Structure 1
């Protein structure tokens, strides 16, 4: 009996056991974490499971495995600490001096509620929800950190497969109706191929990231021509034929932009990293030609692919919305001055993470009133400032500094595999950052996991370069 328990524990802590734990967690997140709303029922299952995976990772992890992630883990911890501080009650005499609190204090006085201790957060329940939401990226960081080096490519393969499943599900959704059971979330973009997610913009970010991961997958196997991996290279090369049309068919204008960015970055990665021949005498005639003319080939290939997509899907919703004269006349543009005013007023203390939806109603003018409510600012950069205040800004700046240093070290390695990996991670992070200008992808657990994966890969490349 004791031998079987020891064998089980050995299997759970082995490199394969760790990989299967991460794979299981990724599948769970992709199936249950495709939306940003706090009332999604699957979060009741996802977050406790995330805490379980955190405990597992901390038990099996070694100090050396976690060392490269010291700065990201500290920054994530500081973000959680800031949320906790926003939940701490304070005397009313101090609280009512904060921006926008005076009218609330006057209403409470008229209602005869007496003096109450209140937290900085204007919607404490939403801030508490935000605090618990950090369990998913923390679990992803720790699980990725404990993986053996030889499993790095396999993790990317799992993410590509999950992205492919989301794309295929989106194709099935497109073939059915907006009321189909294939849509996993009650509040969603019906009649569009959102796949495993609730929002077409977030599906576009996932598929664009999958294009970049497929490009790295191809480049990674390209550096090992002696192994019998042609099937994997072919699958990686063909996968964008699934991802790119679905990006266009989502109807997301953002999808067109991030998709084009992904195609450009993937093209550079494939032809600049994938066809590097150390010896000019090595390689076939085709490979030598590609290596010698990769700049021209990259430009021609990208232009041809974009032109083909535009030609095939010129009547799609996304293209029509993109070229519409009302591109800059939607609610996002109208509400921007209000967001700036809110950010300026709450720059120091913030309104509390997750509180935007409720706080915005106090700033909403009659010209902005409409049947649909604004659940998020659709500009996550400004919403982060509004909710987090100065403390959050300092944490974000700290991450930016770490990111610049990690990317610089990754490019200084001299290894084609590491530089191409840095290309992939930087491009995915750039796409998420671009999408955050008009949306809120990092509030979705699935995109949180993608971000965490990129952070771990950059951290490892940076740590290897220091040694």
Structure 2
């Protein structure tokens, strides 16, 4: 009986998959199988922001092909029943989104092509709408499987941090050396502001805000692990080994670099979301530190963090402060678009107008208050656009799953006994992403969404703790704390 059960479940084993698909043998077995699969996923996630955020269908199609191959060959030895049950709601939601998009594209009959900003027709917009949720589901699944292993999860986090900092340097170089351009592409909008490799400054601000959360989590975790109560912080820093001080200095430099890049975008919503994420991350870290450090040490760290952010804002935030003084905190034209979108939702409450149809449907509901906004191809609010195109029930389901993800990451980050860069960064990134999606469409840009989902998926994998059935993994692969079922970040130092 046991042998029969083992045969039924053999599809989860690497040897069985190799026997069934011989062409995949080099990617499913051998010492390089897991690193090669991780390299494919990392290649996709890290390069997606480069070609203008991968907004073109060709780029998104290429990433979908690579991610599908990575999903077919991903490692499954750390995926137990608990792990599958954890990711089931999220993967099911994204796959349902993709299926609904494909179904609408198959049955839709559009009276005329949708024009883009140059007056050319956009063909197959509904088909394109199915690509992003499908790619996000594949990224979440593959990154989750890799992050279940301590070493792979640590490598993934280090790679996201380093690549994000490299994009920040590239953005500053482009802004200084090629103002008004992104490589060969002339900016249509936001020519005076930093946008990095993205077309929109708000997307760039959110992207670099998430990178800043990774480096802020790294800095706070370093402080939490190395400071001890009863001794002056200055004395402890002086007695710290030179290699440790260099690690802390690198993290601080990358943190300041990313924050400065966020401010240079001039995005009010991006700076606000980044500030809220930083405050939440600081609160979680200080709550953990209060259990080990003295009150004056915790207070000194809090004051230094808040003072540092305020000084950075008033010394390098001219772009943001200038926009606030001239235009206020909120754009009235965007408010008009929100009202028009609510009108669409009211008439298509249950099923929406169909995925990818917002740009086609919006002109029929456009009021005079939004006439000065030009061509509107987004609702500038991801939840509102989901409700308008997919229906209110699906939008509420999506919001509920995302709030559950944020709550899960926050609980795990607070319970981590020695802190975890991965858990803390994923929690803060989820807040930044969620807050900014209320006011703009950054999650609808593949280059940003890939990066954010990869980080959130890795955090979710680490939040559920030790696998219940370890198939041959060594103790070094699972360095879990004995006092908690929340894993550390794999030595990300």
Q: TM-score range by the shorter chain?
A: 0.7 to 0.9
Number of residue-to-residue matches in the alignment: 416
Q: 1:257 aligns with which of 272, 283, 294?
A: 272
Question: Which residue does the alignment assign to 1:71?
Answer: 89
Aligned partners of 2:206, 2:331: CA distance in 1, in Å?
Answer: 23
Structure 1 unaligned residues grouped into runs of 5+: 93-100, 108-122, 279-287
For the structure 1 residues 70 and 184, does the alpha-carbon distance in structure 2 shift closer, same or farther, using more than 3 Å as the test?
farther
Secondary structure of residue in 1 paired with 2:336 = helix
Aligned partners of 1:296, 1:424: CA distance in 2, in Å?
Answer: 22
What RMSD in Å do the two structures reach over aligned CA positions? 3.4
Aligned partners of 2:400, 2:316: CA distance in 1, in Å?
Answer: 42
Question: Which residue does the alignment assign to 1:323?
Answer: 325
Q: Are 2:49 and 1:50 equivalent residues in the alignment?
A: no
Question: Which residue does the alignment assign to 2:448?
Answer: 447
Aligned partners of 1:12, 1:235: CA distance in 2, in Å?
Answer: 32
Q: Which moved more, 1:404-413 or 1:72-81?
A: 404-413
Q: Which moved more, 1:194-203 or 1:134-143?
A: 134-143
Q: Are 2:79 and 1:60 equivalent residues in the alignment?
A: no
CA contact (8 A) 2:433 2:443 kept: yes
Q: 1:89 aligns with which of 77, 96, 107?
A: 107
Secondary structure of residue in 1 paired with 2:440 = coil
Q: Deviations over 1:309-356 (max 9, x none)?
A: 233136x22211123354435311223322221111111110112211
Q: Are 2:36 and 1:17 equivalent residues in the alignment?
A: yes
For the structure 1 residues 81 and 219, does the alpha-carbon distance in structure 2 shift closer, same or farther, using more than 3 Å as the test?
same
Question: Which residue does the alignment assign to 2:307?
Answer: 304
Aligned partners of 2:225, 2:33: CA distance in 1, in Å?
Answer: 26
Structure 2 unaligned residues grouped into runs of 5+: 1-23, 113-121, 227-239, 469-493
Question: Which residue does the alignment assign to 1:396?
Answer: 398
Matches within 5 A, 1:37-436: 40=56, 43-62=57-76, 64-65=78-79, 67=84, 68-89=86-107, 125-147=124-146, 148-180=149-181, 182=183, 187=188, 189-221=190-222, 229-268=244-283, 271-273=286-288, 275=289, 291-313=294-316, 316-324=318-326, 326-370=328-372, 372-400=374-402, 402-403=404-405, 406-407=408-409, 410=412, 413-418=415-420, 421-436=422-437
CA contact (8 A) 1:215 1:270 kept: no
Q: Deviations over 1:181-226 (max 9, x none)?
A: 5365765532322112221111111111111111222345556659
Aligned partners of 1:206, 1:51: CA distance in 2, in Å?
Answer: 24
For the structure 1 residues 56 and 339, does the alpha-carbon distance in structure 2 shift closer, same or farther, using more than 3 Å as the test?
closer
Aligned partners of 1:242, 1:170: CA distance in 2, in Å?
Answer: 11
Aligned partners of 1:183, 1:302: CA distance in 2, in Å?
Answer: 39
Q: Are 2:48 and 1:29 equivalent residues in the alignment?
A: yes
CA contact (8 A) 1:351 1:388 kept: yes
Secondary structure of residue in 2 paired with 1:352 = coil
Q: Which moved more, 1:349-358 or 1:133-142?
A: 133-142
